[in-house]
Structure 1
Amino acid sequence: MALYLRKGDRKAAETLAEHQASAYVPVQVNQSALALITGKTTEPSFSVSRDSVLTLAEFALLSNASLAQLKAGKTPFVAEAALQTFIQKEDNASYADDLQYLSALLAYYHGNKLQGLDLLSARAMADTAASGDRWRKPLAAFLNREVSLEQEAPKNWTGDGSGELLRNPLNVKVLQRFTAEANRRNQPQQAYNALFNALRYREDSPEIVQLYIIQCLDMGLTNYAADKLRVLQENNPAAYGQFLPTYQQKLALIEKRRNDFQ
């Protein structure tokens, strides 16, 4: 199979992969690599214990098969908990960086984007040398992708919207709906947390900054609101000018209520 791939004969490699069922890990590595190229899925018989030391072939199988399943929109066969166990085992140190990168990809593409971004961000901040580009570049690519998708309407809203928020934590439309519904349920802290987390990566978004400021004002967190108002003024003077009357009106109402209670 590998020989066919090296020769560029993908059709022959695919035919062999379809008819060569095997529990032999190197064969499954080739099958999973082919699945990654073709976009097809593979179901490897990966039975290594979470406490085991990974061989090179087992690591390649775990990585290739997980990425192939992600590419096909399927649930990766390796769980996050298993990945963390492999990462923390000292004898797997030679694969630790690659396993962490895989963990970030699985989190980002499989329903917990903030976790994936946080993993990449932590490694990028810790590695300021040129080698840190392996973390900075995908982080920048993911954030650029989020910017391009920030105005898309929610597609799979169910229940309180927490699932949609996990999948799209930096999406303006999702944040607008989630915070509005959380506030109606009298759960303003949930709304605040969603906006606070979004601003860790999207302080450049005037819409998200404004949502955060309004949420802070509604919760009486006037100092936090003032801090982000200054950020809005610095980053986007035009948006600041348009938003300032709304801010001043809300602030005046807060001051009036405080005076009424005195």
Structure 2
Amino acid sequence: MLIDTICHLDFADFDPDRAAVIECAHVAGVEQIVVPSITVDNFERVLDLCASDPSLYPALGLHPCFSHDMEHDLARLDEMLSLAAGAVVAVGEIGLDFRPAQLRSGQEGAAQQEQLLEAQLKLAKTHDLPVLLHAVKAHDRVLKLLRRQHLPRAGIVHAFSGSEQQAREYAKLGFKLGFGGAVTYERARKLRRLAAELPLEWLVLETDAPDMPLQGHRGKRNEPCRVAEVAAFIAQLRGMDDAEVSAVTTATVSGLLRLPY
């Protein structure tokens, strides 16, 4: 059994064949899929989609690049987390994205992103939920906010791209590190080394579908079934059986997000 810890199945990319994509994932052994929101506009779509299939689990949050009315959006998130209590498994996708293009393009500035993230970390504590973190060129700032907020249920650093030291700092706070398609690329030497050498209990698997395709699938829509390939690739890096990587990462996610196992 495998779990895809972040997959945007609500995106329009999947409208033509969503049911077939989910079935393909099940055939590949991916039996549970976490579907996060990125804006207030897709809260209800995510909830409705996950309510339609018991293998899908919703997360609600405000992505750092897509919140344009912070006060309104945070109030709506708080409301929806209350209304969907018991169904929502995490607050996410939330975080910081300090790529220059994001900070220059009229999106949220760095200070606003930090304000938005910290408010959502507080909501996660209030609603007793873990978080799904988006951290791009901002790991040290994210870590600073996490230390300040002390989340009891921690969470997952989606598409981890930091250093070994940053990985260890996240682990001290109880966070797990998401590995997906990026680790399969030959140029990803640092990421491959971390996937091979960090404690397996720190790792979880993801696709971020429809984005972040694996090597050999560039230019194609990513799908949750590819989690099986990520697991096999990491197993090869570590000199382990696929089944052991699957079992350990699945147990980790099940415990963290309180999914049936």
Q: TM-score range by the shorter chain?
A: under 0.3
TM-score, length-scaled by structure 1: 0.26
Larger Rg: 1
- Please identify which structure carries the higher helix content: 1
TM-score, length-scaled by structure 2: 0.26
Between the two structures, name the one with larger relative contact order (CA 8 Å, sep ≥ 6). 2
- Please identify which structure carries the higher strand content: 2
